[in-house]
Structure 1
């Protein structure tokens, strides 16, 4: 299973539609996870034309009323449980026990092996006590900078193995900049 990961698109505040490089990159995925702050349901419509799409409600989406938006999603792919949420603490700033307590409050059993989140606009992948935390960053406002090409992510799952990838959007397409793989017990 190959999933496209995206967050913090902020459309139409940034651009009118997704960058064409995103559409091309996500054209061959099995599903898309958007970690919130899309600002318009048009983004869901655009992504859903490419693959089944799940969207977490971001703090900038509170005015949107669409049944396709949920605070959290808990999804099963092969033998890996994936949690999708907008805000989640980063392992750069919080201890492992704090991350686990937060996961346990947000999700139910079986608890996620992978959490996909957004909000910070910082792309990162962390492995913390058998929990993979993935923030694909923002394709339009990376690191909360001016409008420019940012990042998206991918999550490939096979059995109990997960590989997370962060890709930089370029004028010609995308380039992998980070990748981590783990096998869950």
Structure 2
């Protein structure tokens, strides 16, 4: 199973279209996961054209997104549990808030909010932030993630300098 993981697209403010490198990967996705801050329902509508989309709302999303998606969720894929949460809040780090969002620890926790690509294990759980495909802020590159599940979990970030490249 191939999952494309994105967050913090902030569209249309930070881009009108998805970058070509992301579009290429979306075409081969079994599942697309968005970890919040879509901003408008149009992002969801565009993603649906590529396949199944799951996600959560973030702290900058419009009402229509809040009515369509939960604050957090747990998915099951190939026998693994995947928690998804945006990660916003007060105090603590984004990673700590993401970890504490789930009573039972899933195999993978996908989060966003910080726009900082992140992948590490904590007590057997993969913590994964894809960064942002359209709003890199102070990061040197735009990014999104690919998580593949077969007999094991494989994750990677895709980095690129230009949204048009």
Structure 1 residues 66 and 49: alpha-carbon distance in aligned structure 2, compared to 1, 3 A threshold: farther
Structure 1 residues 67 and 9: alpha-carbon distance in aligned structure 2, compared to 1, 3 A threshold: same
Report the equivalent of 1:77: 77
Point out where structure 1 has 5 or more consecutive residues left out of the alignment: 175-185
Instruction: Assess if the C-alpha contact under 8 Å between 1:140 and 1:149 holds in 2.
Output: no
Superposed CA RMSD in Å reads 2.6
Segments ≥4 residues shifted beyond 6 Å: none
TM-score, scaled to structure 1: 0.77
Alignment of 1:107 onto 2:102: yes
SS of equivalent residue, structure 1 residue 121: coil
The Cα of 1:86 is off from its aligned counterpart by 0.4
Report the equivalent of 1:180: none
Alignment of 1:163 onto 2:158: no
Alignment of 1:63 onto 2:55: no
1:68-94: per-residue Cα shift (whole Å, max 9, x none)?
311112000112100111007455xx5
Report the equivalent of 2:115: 121
In proportion to residue count, which structure has more strand?
Answer: 1
* Partner Cα separation in structure 1 for residue 154 and residue 10 of structure 2: 27
Mapping for residues 40-55 of structure 1, pairs under 5 Å: 40-55=40-55
Structure number, greater radius of gyration? 1
Instruction: Assess if the C-alpha contact under 8 Å between 2:94 and 2:113 holds in 1.
Output: no
Report the equivalent of 1:150: 142
The Cα of 1:149 is off from its aligned counterpart by 5.9
* Partner Cα separation in structure 1 for residue 128 and residue 112 of structure 2: 8
Report the equivalent of 1:133: 127
The Cα of 1:154 is off from its aligned counterpart by 0.6
Instruction: Assess if the C-alpha contact under 8 Å between 1:39 and 1:61 holds in 2.
Output: yes
Structure 1 residues 44 and 163: alpha-carbon distance in aligned structure 2, compared to 1, 3 A threshold: same
Alignment of 1:35 onto 2:45: no
Instruction: Assess if the C-alpha contact under 8 Å between 1:156 and 1:162 holds in 2.
Output: yes
